[in-house]
Every structure is written in structure tokens, then in C-alpha cells.
Amino acid sequence: MKRTLMLLAVLGALTVAIRAEDELTFFGEVARADGVVRLFRGGEEHMLSAEDGIFDGDTIVTEGEASVEVSMGDGNDIVILPASKVSFDAREEGAEGRLKIGLKLDLGSLRCKLDAWKAGDTFEVRSPVAVAGVRGTDFLASYDEKSEEPFEVSVLNGQVEMRSQLRKMLEPRVIFAKHRATASRAGDLRPLREIAPEKIEELRKRFVFRQGLRRFLGSRAELRRGVLEKLREAPRRRRAIHRRRP
């Protein structure tokens, strides 16, 4: 009898968890996770692995040499480097379901490659001192709270608009391809600096997308359906370690 009650309790908890994810805005699917990558969701900590879903409100922490690549479908991807902490804000607004994405970068580095970002949708990387807003581009962002200029954005292709979080009256700064810009601790936006060709190649190698490890992931809607279906078919893939907030 006790075992039956325990089983029912576990199944009930999994059903609630799956229903909760079904109601959250979907961000993307993990294409690869190398090393110890932790996911924080709803007060629980999980070990992250390939084909797991990422939803609004999630936080990813990469430890040591760990890294993770997340596909949003339609040719839009991000890779989070080692020793980083990124939180996800994903919402759909209006009758047309315009997508509003915000990545909160509290520590470390990431690369965003948005080859097919839709007009009208919004994508931002937010740090405590400045925000980088984009539409269809390939750029790198890093945040180091110990630095005098903690937030840095390097643009490989396209354009990124940087805005101060702390000095709202400052004019936004547009960062063009093959240029970078930083923001100070006080929120001041520093002048653009050109990136040397050898440095660009170094950045591409460091923030690499391992295309050979990835299958075709289709559209964002297809990814979402697949992730929720996997949760229903194989609930044990939700490997909660212990309840703890990051």
C-alpha cells in the first residue's frame, strides 16, 4: 500500500511538472551539454543534458570547463561558455505571438548566432550595467563583475545596439560588425573599438558551435512539441538533484 501511494505521489508530481512546462513559454532545446551543466527551475536543481527543454524562468550554470549549446530552431542558437550563469526570460505577446527574449548574463560569456531572427521579435542580452539588443546577427557577450568595464560585446556579423542600464539618458551605441564596445561599472558606454582579424578568428574558435554534433532541429514550434512529448514519454529524464535556488 505504501509503495502504491509513493508511486501515485511521484506520478502526480511529474504530471504537475509537465503541465507547468506546457504552460511556460518555450525558449529552446539543448543541442549539447559538455561537463557539469546545472539547470535551476522552480526551486529545483537538475543536471542538464542533450534534448532537454529550456523555458521561461530557467537559469543555467556551467561549472569548470563545462559548456552548453541551445537551439531555438530556425537557425537561431546560443552557446554558453564555462563558468557562466545565464537566466532566461521568454514571452509571447499580442495576437501574433511576438517573441520577446531576454538573457540575463550574471557571470561569464555566451555567443548568440541569430541567422533567421524574425522581424518584430525582440532579443536582448542583459547585464547589471548595460543591455545588448539585436536582430539577426552573430555576437559575443561577456560579464565580469571584477573588471572596471565588466560588460563587453563583440560583433562578428550584423549590428548590436548597446544601452546603459544605469544611465538611462545616455544615447544607445550601435556596434557594427568586427567591432566591440564595453560598459563601465557606472553604466558609461565606451567608444567602439575595431577587432583585429586574428582576434576575430580567436573568438570564433573559442565560442564554437559544434555543428557536427547536432542534428537538424527544425522550427521552434517543432522543438517545443518534441520536448514536451519526451517529458511525457520519459519522465525519469528529469533528474532533480536537490531543491535549491542558484
* pLDDT of residue 57 exceeding 60: yes
* pLDDT of residue 116 exceeding 90: no
**3-class SS of residue 119:** coil
Start-end of H helices in the chain:
2-23, 197-206, 220-233
Q: pLDDT tens digits, residue range 146-194?
A: 999 999 999 999 999 999 999 999 999 999 999 999 999 999 999 999 9
pTM: 0.80
Average pLDDT over the chain reads 81
Mean pLDDT of 34-56: 92
**3-class SS of residue 60:** strand
* pLDDT of residue 142 exceeding 70: yes
User: What's the CATH number for 2-241?
Assistant: 2.60.120.1440
> Which single residue is written with the C-alpha cell 518534441?
226
pLDDT at 205: 77
Q: pLDDT tens digits, residue range 70-91?
A: 988 877 899 999 999 999 998 8
* Domain residue limits, the chain: 2-241
> Which single residue is written with the C-alpha cell 556596434?
175
Who contacts 196 (Cβ-Cβ below 8 Å, separation ≥6)? none
Run of H or E including 156: strand 151-157
Mean pLDDT of 41-57: 91
pLDDT at 218: 64
Q: How far apart are the C-alpha atoms of 82 and 93, rounded to whole Å?
A: 33
Torsions phi, psi for 122 (to 5 deg) = -120, 140
